[in-house]
Amino acid sequence: MANDLSYLKKMRTGQPPHSVVTLGNKGDSFNVAVVLLSNDEMLNINEMVEERYPNMSDQSSITQQKVRALFYNRLLCYYCTRIPEDLDTKIASDPDEIGKLLDDEDIQRICEQYNNLLINKAPKLEVLTEEELDSLKKYLEVTPLKDINTVSLVHLKYCHQTLVSEQCLMNNGSGSSSTNE
């Protein structure tokens, strides 16, 4: 009966929102839980990335940016992946173990699931800062689409669709209200 707890009851018992992801191939697959991290944990991850790769600018090579992103993804996986039956227990002893034992596809799958959890939580809790938005714009201006991985392109497409839909709704909403006046 304890496994049948609703989302709200889980939140009342202090269990973080999570999702289960299957890693590996059919014969050697296994499940891990992906949990949302606190803002402090995310700040800690960002600080560790900045310590290891300081002063990375938009002018850094694509290879350098990919290495930094891979390091970030491994840290994220280390902190957010847990044993499904015990959400307090991480699946690895350190981020290096994540890099050694999980392939890039597994790491990407975990990061995608983390992003899905983040997207589906209450809106407007995480908002891009002006600096992050400027950095994203500059990156997209100089990066050919062929250099962006498939998962990022899918997210970019969803972002574009969302922004265009919102713009259409705003334009249609303002047009219809002016004709009713």
20 vs 74, residue with greater confidence: 74
Q: Which two tokens stand for residue 101?
A: 């034992």
pLDDT in tens, 60-90: 677 787 888 889 999 999 999 998 888 888 9
Third-level CATH fold of 10-148:
rbstp2171 (3.30.2220)
Cα separation of 42 and 61, whole Å? 25
Range among 17-21, 55-59, 67-71, 72-76 with highest mean pLDDT value = 72-76
Q: Is residue 35 classed exposed, middle or buried when 0-12, 13-18 and 19+ CB atoms within 10 A define those classes?
A: buried
Q: What percent of the chain has pLDDT over 70?
A: 72
101 neighbors 92 (Cβ within 8 angstroms): yes
Mean pLDDT over the full length of the chain: 76
Nearest Cα to Cα of residue 109 among 10, 13, 17, 24: 24
Q: What is the pLDDT of residue 178?
A: 40
Mean pLDDT in residue range 86-104: 89
The helix or strand, by DSSP H or E, that contains position 32, with its residue range, turns out to be strand 30-35
50 neighbors 43 (Cβ within 8 angstroms): no
pTM score: 0.60
Helix (H, G, I), strand (E, B) or coil at 161: helix
Mean pLDDT in residue range 140-162: 78
Q: Where do the domains of the chain lie?
A: 10-148
Q: What is the pLDDT of residue 78?
A: 94
Say if strands 30-35 and 18-23 run parallel, antiparallel, or are unpaired. antiparallel
